[in-house]
Structures are given as C-alpha cells and as structure tokens.
Amino acid sequence: MSAINELISQIENVDLRQRIQKEVDRMSKQKKFGLVFEEHLPECTPLYDIPVKRGATVALKTGKVNDNFKVLKISDGKALCEKMDNHELSEISIEDLVTVAQFGEPIYPYLKPIDSICNAPDSDLWHTLIEADNYHALQLLEYLYAGKVDCIYIDPPYNTGARDWKYNNDYVDTADTYRHSKWLSMMQKRLKLAKRLLNPNDSVLIVTIDEKEYLHLGCLLEELFPEARIQMISSVINPGGAARDMQFSRTDEYIFIIELGSAAPSQLPLPDEWAIKVDARTNRLSWRNMSRAGSNSSRQHSPGCFYPIFVADDGSHVVSIGDPVPIGVDRNSIIVPEGCVAVWPMHTDGTEGCWQLSPSKLSESMSKGYVRLGSFSSDGRMAINYLNRKEIEKVEENGINVIGYRADGSIITDESGFTRKYIPGTQWRINSHNALIGGTNLIKALMPGHNFSYPKSLYAVHDVLRFFVDNKPNALILDFFAGSGTTLHAVNLLNTEDNGRRRCIIVTNNELSNEESNSLTQRGFKPGDEEWEKHGIARNVTWPRTTTSILGKDTNGQILQGNYLGTDIQMSDGFLSNTVYFKIGFLDKNAVALGRQFKELLPLLWMKGGAIGPCPQLNSEDVPDMMILPENRMAILIDANKYASFEQVCRAITNLKTIFIVTDSDNGYKEMISPFKELDTYQIYRDYLDNFRINNGR
C-alpha cells in the first residue's frame, strides 16, 4: 500500500488525486477473508404518530417507504414536496403522506396498548406481543433488556422470493451483484442488536433456515459470534417432501444453535424416536470397568491411579485399598495382607495400566455401593466395575431405586420406573415436528378459515426451546420474527408442563399479503387506516392465535378438541397465562425532553421494570406527582419536590423492585437513589433520551 500511496502523491491534479486516494482507501478496508456482501441500509420507518410538518421527510402511504420527499410548504391540506432523489416538485394531499425516519436519525419509541388477555388473574407473569418493524423493536428492547435475555428463537424469512402473508420473503435486490446481499445485510443488522440482548455468560440463540441461505447464515453467525459454540441440526419438517423441479424433494430444514458462555443443552427424558440407534442397555445402569483402556491408560500416564485393591481371597468383598505405587517401584514388592489377593490394573497383554479412580474417590464410591466385584479369572485377575457420574445421576436424581445390597456392598436396583435422559444427535426425525401436523392443522383448529403460509410445528419449537430452558423456569425468551406466534404458544405449553414462569416477548410486523393489500388499495384504503391494519398478520393471525390458545376456544368461540401431543394437557383447558399486545409508536423528541408524554412512556417503564403484573395506565392527561405501584413492584417519582413523601412510601413496600425518578439533575438523582441501593433505579427522561440519541444508527 505504501508504494501505491507514493504513486498517488505524484498526481498533479488535486481533484483527481483526492478521488483516487478515496477509492483506494475504500478498497483497502474491504475484507479479504470471510463473508463479503454489499451493505444495505434498513428500510426507512413510517412514523404514523408524528404529524406531517414543513421540513419533514415524508413518503406516500401507498408507495415505497424509501421513496422520500422533503416538505417545503403546507397550505390548505396540501404539501409542496421535493423528491429527494431528483428534486422534482409536486403537490400532495397531507392525508396521503406519512412522516418517515431515515436510518441514522434518532427516533423515540413508545408502546401503545392495543389489547390484552388475562386468564391468570392471580399471576403477575405477563407475556408481550409487540407489533413493529423488528429492527426498531430490537433497538427498544436493547434499552429495556440489554444482556438479560436467556434465549432468542427466530425463524427469519428464507429468501424464497415469495410475497405471502407471513412477510415479504423477497430479499433479492436487482442492483446487487451478489443475490444474497440484501438478505445478509438485513440479518446482520438485526443479529448485531440481538447479540447485545443476550446474556453473554449463559444464553442461546436459535435460528432456523433452509438450503437457500444456510451457508451464508452460517458464515455470518461465525463472524458475529466468534466466541460462541455453534452447531447445526437437520430437522425433518415435511416427511412427504416439498417438490423441487428436477431435484431431490426437500424434507428438512436446518437449526443453528449458538451457545454463549456456559449455555448447553440439558439432558432430557426422550422417547426412542430421538435416538438414531436405540440401545436397551441405556435404560438401565451401566457398570464401567475400573481399569482404564485406550490412550493414556498406562501406569506412566497416571501414577496416582496405579495401586493395589486388596480383595478377600474368596472374592467376596474389598478388604482395603492400597496406596499408589511410585514409578520405579516393583508392584510385586508390595506386601499383601493375609487372606487377601492384590488386584492390579493390568492390561490383557500383561502390561501395567491404571485405574479410573484415585484411591480416595474409589473409597467414596465403595461407601455408597457404587463399586461391584466380578469373579477371579484363571490367571488371578478380577474385573472391578464402578458407576460413573452420569450413572450415579440415574440413581440419585432420575428414578432408579436402590432396593438392597450385594455381598460385596454394591447396590441392587429397581430400574422399572427409569426413563433415560440424554442429549440427542444432530439428525432429528420427530413425528410431531411435521409442519402439517403441528403447524397447519393446529392453526386451522385455532382459527378456522385462516390460511397462514408455512407455520412452524408447535412441538418443533417447544422441543428445541426445552433443551435450553428446561433448567431455567424463569427464563426470558424472545422471538423477533414471530410470524403466527408459535414461540409464545410453545412457552405457554412449557410453563404448563412444569409450572414454570418463563416470560416471552414476541415481535412481528403487521404486513399484508400482496393480494390483500392490492384489494384494500383499490377500495381506497391506505396503511395506517384501521381497515387496513386489521387485516395485517399481527392483528389477524398472531394475536388471535395467542388469545384462542390461552382461552381454549377457537375464533368462532367453539371449545378446542384434543390434547397437545405427547402430553395429557387438554387444548380446551387453555393456559393460565396473561399477555399484553402493544404497537410501537414514535414520540416527538422535544415533547419528551420537556417532560410531557409520560402517559405514552408508562408501558415502556413497566416493561423495563420486569413486566410484573398488569400494565398500569393513566386514564387522564393529568400526570400525578408520583405513582406507587405495589402490584407492579415499582414506583415512579415524577415531581422531585415530593421526594420526602415518595421515600417514606417506598420504604413501606417490602417487595419493591424498581424505582424511576424524573429529574435532569445527575447529582439530585444520585442523592435520591442512595437509600435504595438494593433496587433497580433509573433516571428518566435522561436515561431514555440518551439511549436513543447515542444508539441511533448503530
């Protein structure tokens, strides 16, 4: 590069020299290894809550949100607009325009309550559905839960080119020289935000994909999560096969598992269909040979495990355990107690080996009955067996009962009630994961007449989540490509099975199919109109599925039939569950800075406080001096002059978890929170405004 820069410096034309230097600098920054693709900015965001004003950037409600105009003048309900790419002027009715935010502009989101369902009034656990573009939802969630999410499950668009109800699945830009660039750019920006949400010490990201993008997604994940352990599972979701012209039919899809920190799949009690090879021996205790085999099994490899075990000469029991014999000392020089035989870790070829356990560990295992003697062979050797850690778990934790002891002190067990727990392989062919059985047919039962394209099997999502949250009954689970809402449905099923309190947040847009949007446009409706919005996926699929599954009745009010596969849970029973439905809106930054719009920010504060209990609401525009909310385990001081009364009331609440204080004074805030060091405390609106000003465009 130094030679090139030297040559560039010799160019006399200043403008040409600068232009060439700029291009060379740009080329030098391009990656030489790894995934290379063309960057795309996220779509502009329509801000339906922000009125069209002079100087605003706007788009046509019925046009592309990236085709932007600048409003030069407003008069008599019309706006004089300048097209931003070609500077053409046109006069457009304000009713046909929507204010937009371009990438890089700070936006100030809030949560607008749309609906809620409470089928467990005695529970303070609430799930959340957020209707929004997921990029901006992730920005909001980063403010709320950075580093606190235990599990993210997503089923992103597969870039098939389809334009169905689920979402626009066409991520191929004709301007790209690489057909995957637009899709990769979309995923990269969202995964970067998702990573900041995950707990770096113990969390998992689960991503499903098919053959069109799995290679590129895998490279992207390796690049974004270099510290993680990544595996890919092949899961059969369509045993009948999806036809491919002149190709093999597609029966499976792929599941990427990205484990951060100490995250790892749990061993679960699984039926035989999860095992590639069913081995009946795994359903009972497996006694292992105490003599180490294979590599690193000689005396020299583990001198501390070369020692004699003195067995009664009738082979009935162990009398004592000898000390390790140092290398160089002949084992035959060791004195054998009278009435005993010394048993050594010897290989069949006569060479000296070593035991699996140290003398102290062997003594501990013998005291619990976890060591068993075989019989003497003709050459005087004896097989000694023991239970390793996993086998001991079967006895101590997983239902194998001790019913007696043999003469050698080893346990006698009843294994009839034992179901093995294990982690399966990476090839899954599970009947209930069939997308027709657990997806399409289930949607039809919940919402007769709805035609939702390619729903995930409820049980496929349930099972993969279970491996990572089975031991986390209070896990926070996020899905920001929610589709029909399968993930929330699966979390409710998991909680019902084991009385868990896992909380789920799902995010989906409210897109329509091309057919539906064309029909509404012809009838004169535009995005933002109530008639338009009620036909979108969030309101017409995700929310109805959530409510019907919780209530145990379909959208026609008929009681659901049957039970959830593999359980005795009746669908008609519904779930003891609560969920609130929000839509993201955007606030005027100046109004927020002046301390107004508190009513709009209250649901956001509720979520930041842990979404405990029903979301509080203000029923008037009058803002109180303080809000004490024991049901939500939080308190908000709005007028700092009332701090003395606020502190006194808060001290009387035993289960308070979160305190919000509205003040612009950093010193005043620090002083006011000093009595509440054990609680979560936040300074608003400073905390909120700073977050979205600093983090915009990242």
What would the pLDDT profile of 198-240 be if each residue is shown by its tens digit?
A: 999 999 999 999 988 899 999 999 999 999 999 999 999 999 8
pLDDT tens figures, 339-358: 999 999 999 888 999 999 99
Tokens of 58: 């706007």
E strands within 109-166? 109-118, 127-131, 151-154
Taking a C-beta distance cutoff of 8 angstroms, is the pair 408, 395 a contact? no
Look at residue 129 and tell me if it is in a domain. Answer: yes
pLDDT tens figures, 501-539: 999 999 999 888 778 888 888 898 888 888 988 889 999
Residue 265 and residue 295 in one domain = no
From 560, 581, 602, the end of a domain falls on: 581
Look at residue 40 and tell me if it is in a domain. Answer: no
Amino acid identity for residue 471 in this structure:
N
What 3 state SS string does 430-475 have?
CHHHCHHHHHHHHHHHHCCCCCCCCCCCHHHHHHHHHHHHCCCCCC
Residue with tokens 């105490």: 290
Please give the span between the terminal C-alpha atoms of the chain, in angstroms, as a whole number.
Answer: 30
The CA-atom distances, in angstroms, between 525 and each of 68, 335, 389, 532, 548 are: 20, 98, 66, 6, 29
- Hey, CA dihedral for 349, 350, 352, 357, is it positive or negative? positive
pLDDT reported for residue 179: 61
Amino acid identity for residue 668 in this structure:
G
Enter the pTM of the model: 0.80
Q: Is the pLDDT score of 161 beyond 80?
A: no
Residue 120 and residue 264 in one domain = yes
Residue 269 and residue 306 in one domain = no
Alpha carbon distance 182, 518 (integer Å): 25
Q: Compute the radius of gyration of the chain from its Cα atoms.
A: 33
Residue 355 and residue 430 in one domain = no
Environment class of 629 (CB within 10 Å of its CB; exposed 0-12, middle 13-18, buried 19+): buried
Residue 129 and residue 91 in one domain = no
Interval 280-292 mean pLDDT: 79
Domain count for the chain, please give it.
4
Q: Is the pLDDT score of 176 beyond 80?
A: no
Can you give the CATH number for the domain in which 90 is found? 2.30.30.140
Look at residue 412 and tell me if it is in a domain. Answer: no
E strands within 328-399? 340-343, 371-376, 382-386
**In the β-sheet with 626-629, what is the strand arrangement from edge to edge?**
626-629, 634-637, 658-662, 680-684
The number of angstroms, rounded, from the C-alpha of 641 to the middle of its chain's C-alpha atoms is: 42
pLDDT tens figures, 184-197: 888 999 999 999 99
Name the nearest CA neighbour of 631 among 651, 608, 658, 604: 658
Look at residue 577 and tell me if it is in a domain. Answer: yes
Alpha carbon distance 652, 364 (integer Å): 51
What 3 state SS string does 182-235 have?
HHHHHHHHHHHHHHHHECCCEEEEEEEECCCCHHHHHHHHHHHCCCCEEEEEEE
Tokens of 482: 């929610």
Residue 217 and residue 135 in one domain = yes
Alpha carbon distance 547, 461 (integer Å): 19
Residue 371 and residue 465 in one domain = no
State phi, psi for 276 to the nearest 5 degrees.
Answer: -65, -40
The number of angstroms, rounded, from the C-alpha of 225 to the middle of its chain's C-alpha atoms is: 14
Q: What is the DSSP letter of 683?
A: E
Look at residue 350 and tell me if it is in a domain. Answer: yes
With H, G, I as helix, E, B as strand and everything else as coil, classify residue 115: strand
Name the nearest CA neighbour of 254 among 488, 505, 464: 464
Look at residue 631 and tell me if it is in a domain. Answer: yes
Q: Is the pLDDT score of 400 beyond 90?
A: no
From 67, 101, 135, the end of a domain falls on: 101
Mean pLDDT is lowest, of 169-183, 420-434, 481-495, 545-559, for 169-183
Residue 686: pLDDT band by 50, 70, 90 thresholds? confident
Q: What is the DSSP letter of 333?
A: G
Residue 257 and residue 299 in one domain = no
Tokens of 249: 């039919």
Look at residue 32 and tell me if it is in a domain. Answer: no
Q: What is the DSSP letter of 282?
A: G
Residue 451 and residue 569 in one domain = yes
Alpha carbon distance 329, 216 (integer Å): 60
Can you give the CATH number for the domain in which 443 is found? 3.40.50.150
From 73, 101, 129, the end of a domain falls on: 101
Residue 520 and residue 652 in one domain = no
Look at residue 362 and tell me if it is in a domain. Answer: yes
Alpha carbon distance 611, 615 (integer Å): 7
State phi, psi for 376 to the nearest 5 degrees.
Answer: -70, 140
Q: How many residues does the chain have?
A: 698
Range of the domain at 513: 109-273+425-581
Residue 121 and residue 240 in one domain = yes
Residue 97 and residue 180 in one domain = no
pLDDT reported for residue 38: 56
